[in-house]
Amino acid sequence: MQIKKPRKIDVSRELIEYIGSEKLAVLAVKRGLDTKKKLREFFEVESYTPLRVEEFPKINKIVKFILEFINNDKNILVYGDYDVDGITSTSILVDGLRKLSSNIKYHIPDRFKEGYGLNKEVIKSYAEEIDLIITCDCGISNHAEVDYAKELGINIVVTDHHDLPAELPEADFVISPRLLNKDHNAYWLPGAGMAYFLIKAVYIEINKRGQEDEFLDLLLLAIIADVVPLVGENRYLFKTALKKLKNTKRVGLRALYNALDINPSEINEKVLGFQIGPVLNSAGRIDSAEKALELLIAKNYHKAAGTAAELIEINKRRKELSQKIYLQAEGSVNKKHKTGLVSFNQEWHQGVIGIAAGRIVENYQIPAVLMTSNKENNLITGSARSVEGVNINKIIGECSDLLEKHGGHAAAAGFSLKKDRLEKFKLRLQRLIDNKLKKQDLKQLIEPELEVKLDEIEDEFYKKMRLFAPFGEANPEPVFYTEAQVLSSRNISQGRHKRLVLSDGDNKFTALWWWADEVQTGIKQRAAFKLNENIYRGKHSLQLEIKALEVLDKELSTADKDLLEGKKVFNIIDLRDKSREQLEVGRENTVYFLEGKNNLSLYPIVNRDYQRKAERLVLISFPPSAEILKEMIILTGAEEIALSSIIDKTLGFKEFIRLLMGLIKHIIKKKNGVLDINDAAVFLSEREITVKRGLDYLRAKGVLNYEYISYHEVLISKNSTADKGMSNLSGRQLNQLLKESAAFRRYLKRNSIEKIENTINNLF
């Protein structure tokens, strides 16, 4: 992959002084924040000018129209959707209007029987009892269904946020943020955002201004779950609504927090996106979405607690179903050649095949298309997920003559077809995907936004960069550019992911590269990367997340060249028979390597994720592998390595599992179940792959379940379905990894200093 060096641009002194960094002022300008006013509004909630409801076309007329039905005791139906945005939109309108009328009903469609959007049969079933339908998160493209409602004498107001069709439906009124200019701050509101501002406009009209704020918690759920751009009004609402969600008075959400063991004060995007959102979404995927809606509008805590427990069980079933489908589909993945996966199984559950397809894409970096039978309409339904550079929606569109319906975007799409066209469709789609993969330019261009030198990456720079957060759709994490030497590379997950050390000669940083290519060490390279922070036991360190590397034809620094060519000879000191008091604690230019549960009062302590330069590295505990020892020597720049035996602890199988279980209990209680595998490896003083095998073993034993929420973080939940065969396999693998770590530590403990010195020098 080619990396384009960022272009230099001039920025005003005013911007530089405001943000306190010329580099980040450049980043701001490249993101359209080219004046102090724009930047202040972006960074400071109090400087932002919130949306006024009057900015929506005809909203005052719509409010008066709805209030006329309420004032005349007419019956109103809120018609929503089965995903989180649809459920929260419906909740906002139902709860908001029920404060004004007792004649408010709702309908959430059945995903399998009724499908997305308005349905004629449903409309017909309400014809005798409903005077007005208000849609939310749907309806903008339902021309025929809107016409049908009007024929039956039902008035209809469409509220939606999806792309506008060529012509709007002939409803009484249509209101959508997409009716605003595309550069308007509210253009990207979710469906719940439109529902929120409609209720706000109603409340303003009847002198209840401010009461709409009780719905901000629901709106934030939709903003995160629907992955809308986190810019403009969405960004402002995110920042103002997070506190509301943490301190919600909503009975259903409090019951859900309790059932999920969620600490409200620790709620963030991950908790919303990977815990709360999936539970609410799962009902519509494999059961009835009305259960999620009932939770959100519940008034009785006892009843809400029962509904929350039921939803969690539904989500567990969803996880089990998606895991089963994933494992079955994975068996068809071509492990030798990079080809797309196109697979059909009539027994797969329609509601979760998209999730399983997404996992295939994440784990194998190939497009995945999974299909199953829809027993309601006798069609085949498919869900597709794809990788960057392969527009799966466009490819499926090339098969449109074989399909009944299709739609989506570059990364995800859905479709349906008749059974007699399945084989022809599979063959054509497989050929199209594979041809695209073959033609895909292996030298794809990545364009970082900003060039930085390693010596410019420090805590203050990171702190100011975080002012641009929260990151998400339309406001991604910045990708930076630098030129540096790659001094070391080691596998951290069966060769799929790597951990590197980058250096400019004086400064060194660890870096993680997910789905890494082959890495050439000892060569200066261009690097495109994101910047992350490690926090372990209160210690902060910065780490790079590599997006791409490209070799440069330049020389290494003399010091790094000598190191990598083995010209540097390390002096090994034997302190294995010394007590703590004999270690010369506090000696100048000395650091102490210590990992594991132990916490000795030594300073400064270093580990894999927290380093500092020193001439002498004292191994208070022995690392679990030669690769990690080499990494620590490079990162500290030490020329003298002292072997101590103060911490002489090798974990056996039972002890490792006991400590891992203790850590997991702490994570569930204090961190809302989010476990960082890298942190766990440091805590357990083991390799990252060993932690993963430990999790696999506990899942197979039925003790816990987990799912990845990033490449190095998993979300832990209690209990799973036991699998004896898998527990035996993962148990053997875990035991072998622990034996390998123990063998390396025994080597450092028992062999002569001369032999160890020779081994360490041969690492370079």
Q: Is 359 a member of any domain?
A: yes
Other CB atoms within 10 Å distance of the CB of residue 164? 13
What pLDDT sits at residue 599? 74
Q: Is 444 a member of any domain?
A: no
User: Are 659 and 618 in the same domain?
Assistant: yes
What pLDDT sits at residue 205? 97
What pLDDT sits at residue 564? 58
Given a contact cutoff of 8 angstroms between Cβ atoms, the answer to whether 22 and 16 are in contact is yes
User: Are 109 and 62 in the same domain?
Assistant: yes
Q: In 132-275, which residue ranges form alpha helices assigned H by DSSP?
A: 143-151, 191-205, 216-225, 232-246, 251-259, 269-271
User: Are 591 and 556 in the same domain?
Assistant: no
From residue 586, alpha-carbon distances to 578, 590, 632 in Å are 16, 7, 20
Q: Is 85 a member of any domain?
A: yes
Given a contact cutoff of 8 angstroms between Cβ atoms, the answer to whether 611 and 536 are in contact is no
- State which of 439, 473, 504 marks the end of a domain: 439
Roughly how many angstroms between the first and final C-alpha of the chain, as a whole number?
28
DSSP state, residue 710: E
What pLDDT sits at residue 583? 79
User: Are 645 and 602 in the same domain?
Assistant: yes
User: Are 653 and 748 in the same domain?
Assistant: yes
CATH number at residue 741: 1.10.10.10
Q: Is 672 a member of any domain?
A: yes
Up-side HSE of residue 350: CA atoms within 13 Å toward CB?
21
CATH number at residue 385: 3.10.310.30
Dihedral of alpha carbons 265, 266, 272, 278, sign? negative
CA angle 583, 587, 592 (to 5 degrees): 65
Q: In this structure, what token pair is assigned to residue 448?
A: 């970082």
Which bin fits 420, alpha (ψ -120 to 50), beta or left (φ > 0)? alpha
Q: Is 132 a member of any domain?
A: yes
Q: Is 622 a member of any domain?
A: yes
User: Are 660 and 755 in the same domain?
Assistant: yes
Up-side HSE of residue 665: CA atoms within 13 Å toward CB?
7
Q: In this structure, what token pair is assigned to residue 133?
A: 């339908």
What pLDDT sits at residue 391? 92
User: Are 701 and 614 in the same domain?
Assistant: yes
Range of the domain at 172: 32-241
Query: Phi and psi of 168, rounded to 5°?
Result: -75, 150
Q: How many domains does the chain have?
A: 5
What pLDDT sits at residue 561? 62
Up-side HSE of residue 500: CA atoms within 13 Å toward CB?
29
- State which of 241, 274, 297 marks the end of a domain: 241
User: Are 204 and 65 in the same domain?
Assistant: yes
Q: Is 176 a member of any domain?
A: yes
User: Are 414 and 524 in the same domain?
Assistant: no
CA angle 601, 604, 608 (to 5 degrees): 105
Other CB atoms within 10 Å distance of the CB of residue 147? 15
What pLDDT sits at residue 450? 96
Q: Is 126 a member of any domain?
A: yes
User: Are 91 and 10 in the same domain?
Assistant: no
Tokens 């979405």 appear where?
289
- State which of 541, 562, 583 marks the end of a domain: 562
User: Are 106 and 77 in the same domain?
Assistant: yes
Mean pLDDT in consecutive groups of 10 residues from the start of the chain, 764 residues: 90 95 95 94 94 96 98 98 96 97 96 90 96 96 95 97 92 97 95 98 97 97 91 95 95 96 89 93 94 97 97 92 92 88 96 93 92 89 91 94 87 92 96 89 79 95 95 92 94 87 93 90 92 83 94 65 65 89 83 88 89 94 95 95 85 96 92 92 95 96 90 88 93 97 95 94 88
User: Are 582 and 503 in the same domain?
Assistant: no
